[in-house]
Amino acid sequence: MPASRPIWKGQLRLSLVSIAVELYTATKANAKPSFRQIHEPSGKPVHYEKVVDGIGPVDKDEIMKGFEYEKDDYVLLTDEEIDAVKLETRKTLDLTQFVYSHEIDPLYYDKPYYMVPSDELAEDAFIVIRDALRQADKVGLGQLALRGKEYLVAIKPAGKGLLLETLHYEDELRKADPYFSDIPAKKADADLLEVATALIDKKTDKFDAKVFKDHYQSALRELIARKLKNKGRKITARDEPPESRPTKSNVVDLMAALKSSLEGGKQAPAKKPAAKAKAAPRKKAS
């Protein structure tokens, strides 16, 4: 079992079959540098106080959760009252539907988690569900109460285990139409499309996440290392090339740019104007 603690323990249920499982976060929170606000003159971290208008700082035990049902009017709820809300999905994840993975728009996917059997007794049933999903090429759907919210989730095989991904609900997503409305409803030029498709084919390869690095985070770590080496002295920003904006000529030269990219990125040399033929010397009149 991994060193980290599971964020959820419960039952994965398919009809009358229940399997004891555990859920672990699949992403690392400390993969990127994190910052705190610091009071520069003293070098000490800045703390935050809970403050009420007209009263000032208040103690933690005086704070409750409130739902604003009208402007500036709240119904107050204690932690005990919220915990008393009975949801079966708090301890049981029921697989209620199965779909092909390509049927779920990537827009719905939110966060990944690893799911593993809790003990040896659960292993056989866990493996059966995993392999059945793999053989059917399907994704299991269900709902799970986690950290004060009920999530729609999708479960699919991942190596020897299962990958659970939380999904957004329909009403959490913005409609695309307002953003796409100004894009003209026309097809791409056939010749341009042919060259662009050839360029895509040329750059097609198997996905390998190791190929891609977070350059911004690497630059931040380099900056931190330089600051430590220079004992915190201010470091000036490095010069960056000015941002270029496409001009009308760029648009006109779209075919040339695509063909150049297809040939390996070499810019096609500009054609020189044809040299004017030299006029033949006139014969002197006799």
Q: Is the pLDDT of residue 118 over 50?
A: yes
CATH code of the domain occupying 8-27+85-172: 2.40.290.10
Q: Is the pLDDT of residue 3 over 80?
A: no
Distance between CA atoms of 249 and 234, rounded to whole angstroms? 42
Quick one: pLDDT at residue 238? 62
Domain ranges for the chain, please list them. Answer: 8-27+85-172
Distance between CA atoms of 26 and 116, rounded to whole angstroms? 12
Residues facing residue 155 across a β-bridge:
140, 164
pLDDT class of 2 with cuts at 50, 70, 90: low
What letters, b where the CB count within 10 A reaches 16 and e where it falls short, cover 231-269? eeeeeeeeeeeeeeeeeeeeeeeeeeebeebbeeeeeee
Quick one: pLDDT at residue 260? 84
- When pLDDT is averaged across residues 226-247 and rounded to a whole number, the result is 66
Q: Is the pLDDT of residue 247 over 80?
A: no
Neighbours of 195 (CB within 10 A): 18
Quick one: pLDDT at residue 237? 60
- When pLDDT is averaged across residues 165-193 and rounded to a whole number, the result is 93
The answer, as to whether pTM is greater than 0.85, is no
Q: Which helix (H) or strand (E) holds 149?
A: strand 149-158
Q: Is the pLDDT of residue 60 over 90?
A: no
State the average pLDDT for the chain: 83
47 vs 153: which has the higher pLDDT: 153
- When pLDDT is averaged across residues 87-114 and rounded to a whole number, the result is 91
Residue type, 176: A
Pick from 144, 157, 172: nearest CA to 115: 157
Pick from 13, 9, 27, 189: nearest CA to 110: 27
Backbone phi, psi, residue 193, to 5°: -60, -40
